[in-house]
């Protein structure tokens, strides 16, 4: 079946984490005017849409994912005038702006919650989820996703409230139609300002199983896993269809939902072409492979066969039914080149480019996280003071504080998967604070900014940055890259990720070596059909039709370490 065209299928998105992108006033925190000063950089890169992580009024317990006023800009980021100006400048350059929508919870400093906790009969009481104690303890055993219990006792009224994240992030009660109307009204307010859509924070968690059953206990954790009772809950699709009717359908928007606990089956419901809910979902299966005994806290290598299986499953199971989103990185995950590639000096650049080819030649809307286009790497911290993230602090306290694992072991895990890896300031140049700020940055700059930065790469045509530009240009000019169907090749290979895209009579093959050794692909040019090389990360591959790419003329195409080639038949 032929895919329907849509602008949000054809665009390339760039995620900005505002605290870490560009500071304009020397306070060490990125801000709106800083972003505005870098718009030409994004335009030049080829970006169509900016997704801006939260800039709303917030006490900053979870870096803005705890909102105390949805219609105000947080003072450290600037003013509403600065925002309007930024939006106008984005539009002026022909780009679009997608905001973060965080409506599973608010901050405990939101006016609604301040009211809600006052008394049991306050008109805002039912805006949140309050329950009586059970056996003098919390109403059930659910764990907070930031560790510890998901319920907080409030002495004022003698009841508990639910907070799936920190206790400063109480969950809204979506069962209450007044809550839903308030949210829709707020979304419409932003829509009338002219924004171009929303990325929806943990949207799969809005509907809780109203029986609030205990979750399964897993070894070593005193709290139970409530995910099956709050992810993809009983009324989630009714809520999103309502939201679509009342708000989304009135705007020409792009919408992407954060799909915690979402598999392909669910994604087809959330983002199906017939569902009237969202345009697409983020799933996390590929970035949460190989968990260890402490879940995401591990330093396990990723198994390529598993990675291929997961990404291919999403490609094929959504084909013709729903649209994919493609990402390696965001503000919650470590740097891809350190995790899926190889950030040692000899392979850093090759593997950063290979990863870009591997993912962004697939079907779906590409998302690039700030700094990924440079191949920014993980950061190596050695003490807890090196980190700011609330999740890291909580898990450290729980695991090391209780003596379950040593400081050294925990640091290895944090350096491998911790969220602050992605949150270090953007590396613009080689000056002391990487051109991010004139002051002291809120989170330390990665010391490798002396050689890994925009300034260096912009001036070098074989840089990761220039490679990203070329890839984006291909996505903009070739329909097959947007709409072509996907088919995995070399399924059994544990070293090469290979696939094909096809649209009508056109066919394109992608070959990526995920190892630091030369690998025979077992594929021959004859088999694949001769063609031209569209892009590759080794400079000597030029175009087999001209006969000057020696290795490709072989019967068995050899891929050098981290080599990526795309060719068109
Ligand atoms: C999402 C955000 C994450 C935040 C959490 C709670 O997962 O991406 O940064 O901590 O929701 O809002
Ligand atoms: Ca600032």
Q: Is the pLDDT of residue 550 over 70?
A: no
**pLDDT on residue 141:** 98
Average pLDDT of span 202-207: 98
pLDDT score at 405: 94
| Calculated CA dihedral for residues 441, 84, 107, 15, nearest 10 degrees | -60
- Write down the residue that tokens 């602090």 correspond to: 393
Q: Residue 441: what pLDDT? A: 98
Q: In the 8-state DSSP scheme, what is residue 213?
A: P
pLDDT of residue 533: 87
Q: How confident is the model at residue 257 (pLDDT cuts 50, 70, 90)?
A: very high
Q: Could you tell me which of 40, 66, 65, 36 has the C-alpha nearest to residue 53?
A: 65
Is 13 strand, coil or helix? strand
If one residue of 53, 99, 202, 329 were mutated to test the ligand 1 pocket, choosing by the most ligand atoms within 8 A of its CB, it would be 202
| For residue 219, pLDDT beyond 90 | no
- Of 258, 266, 373, 563, which one is the catalytic site residue? 258
Enumerate helices (H) and strands (E) in the chain, giving the number of each: 18, 22
> What values do phi and psi take at 378, rounded to 5?
-60, 165
Nearest of 129, 113, 119 to residue 61 by alpha carbon: 113
**Confidence band, pLDDT 50/70/90 cuts, at residue 530:** low
pLDDT over 70 (residue 43): yes
Nearest alpha carbon, ligand 1 atom 2: 201
CA of 104 from ligand 1 middle (Å) equals 10
Question: Token digits for 296?
Answer: 């995401």
**Phi/psi at 272 (nearest 5 deg)?**
-65, 150
Cα dihedral 500/508/565/494 (nearest 10): 10
Catalytic (active site) residue 152: no
Angle at CA of residue 445, ends 440 and 449, nearest 5°: 130
Strand order in the sheet with 151-154: 130-131, 159-162, 151-154
pTM beyond 0.95: the answer is yes
Short-list 330, 428, 346, 414, CA closest to 379: 414
User: Is the beta carbon of 332 within 6 A of some atom in ligand 1?
Assistant: yes
Token pair in block for residue 33: 């005017």
- Closest ligand by atom to 166 CA: 1
Reported confidence tier of residue 440, pLDDT bands at 50, 70, 90? very high
pLDDT above 90 (res 208)? yes
């Amino acid at each position: 079946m032929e895919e329907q065209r849509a602008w949000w299928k054809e665009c390339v998105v760039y995620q900005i984490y505002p605290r870490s992108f560009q500071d304009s006033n020397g306070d060490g925190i990125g801000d709106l005017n800083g972003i505005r000063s870098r718009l030409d950089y994004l335009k030049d890169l080829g970006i169509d849409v900016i997704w801006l992580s939260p800039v709303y009024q917030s006490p900053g317990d979870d870096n803005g994912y705890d909102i105390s006023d949805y219609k105000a800009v947080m003072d450290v980021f600037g003013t509403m005038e600065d925002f309007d100006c930024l939006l106008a400048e984005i539009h002026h350059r022909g780009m679009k702006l997608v905001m973060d929508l965080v409506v599973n919870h608010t901050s405990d400093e939101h006016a609604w919650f301040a009211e809600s906790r006052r008394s049991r009969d306050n008109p805002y009481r039912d805006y949140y989820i309050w329950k009586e104690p059970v056996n003098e303890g919390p109403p059930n055993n659910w764990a907070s996703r930031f560790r510890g219990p998901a319920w907080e006792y409030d002495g004022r009224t003698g009841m508990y409230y639910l907070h799936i994240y920190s206790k400063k992030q109480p969950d809204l009660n979506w069962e209450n139609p007044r809550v839903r109307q308030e949210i829709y009204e707020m979304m419409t307010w932003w829509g009338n300002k002219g924004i171009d859509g929303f990325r929806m924070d943990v949207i799969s968690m809005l509907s809780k199983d109203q029986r609030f059953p205990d979750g399964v206990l897993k070894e070593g954790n005193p709290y139970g896993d409530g995910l099956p009772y709050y992810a993809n809950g009983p009324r989630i699709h009714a809520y999103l269809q309502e939201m679509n009717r009342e708000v989304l359908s009135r705007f020409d928007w792009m919408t992407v939902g954060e799909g915690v606990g979402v598999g392909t089956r669910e994604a087809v419901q959330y983002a199906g072409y017939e569902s009237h809910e969202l345009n697409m979902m983020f799933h996390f299966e590929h970035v949460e492979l190989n968990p260890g005994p402490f879940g995401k806290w591990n330093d396990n290598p990723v198994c390529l066969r598993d990675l291929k299986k997961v990404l291919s499953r999403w490609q094929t199971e959504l084909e013709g039914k729903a649209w994919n989103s493609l990402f390696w990185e965001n503000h919650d995950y470590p740097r891809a080149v350190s995790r899926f590639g190889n950030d040692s000096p000899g392979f850093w650049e090759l593997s950063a480019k290979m990863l870009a080819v591997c993912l962004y030649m697939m079907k779906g809307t590409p998302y690039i996280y700030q700094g990924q286009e440079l191949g920014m790497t993980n950061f190596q911290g050695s003490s807890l003071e090196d980190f700011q993230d609330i999740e890291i602090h909580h898990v450290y306290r729980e695991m090391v504080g209780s003596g379950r694992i040593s400081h050294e072991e925990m640091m290895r895990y944090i350096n491998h998967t911790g969220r602050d890896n992605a949150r270090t300031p953007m590396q613009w140049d080689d000056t002391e604070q990487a051109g991010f700020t004139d002051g002291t940055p809120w989170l330390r700059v990665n010391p490798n900014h002396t050689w890994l930065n925009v300034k260096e790469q912009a001036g070098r045509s074989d840089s990761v940055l220039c490679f990203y530009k070329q890839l984006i240009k291909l996505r903009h000019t070739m329909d097959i890259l947007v709409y072509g169907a996907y088919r995995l090749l070399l399924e059994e290979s544990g070293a090469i990720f290979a696939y094909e895209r096809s649209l009508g009579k056109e066919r394109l093959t992608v070959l990526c070596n995920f190892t630091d050794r030369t690998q025979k692909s077992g594929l021959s040019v004859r088999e694949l059909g001769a063609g031209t090389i569209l892009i590759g990360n080794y400079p000597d591959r030029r175009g087999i039709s001209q006969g000057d790419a020696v290795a490709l003329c072989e019967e068995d195409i050899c891929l050098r370490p981290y080599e990526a080639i795309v060719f068109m038949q």
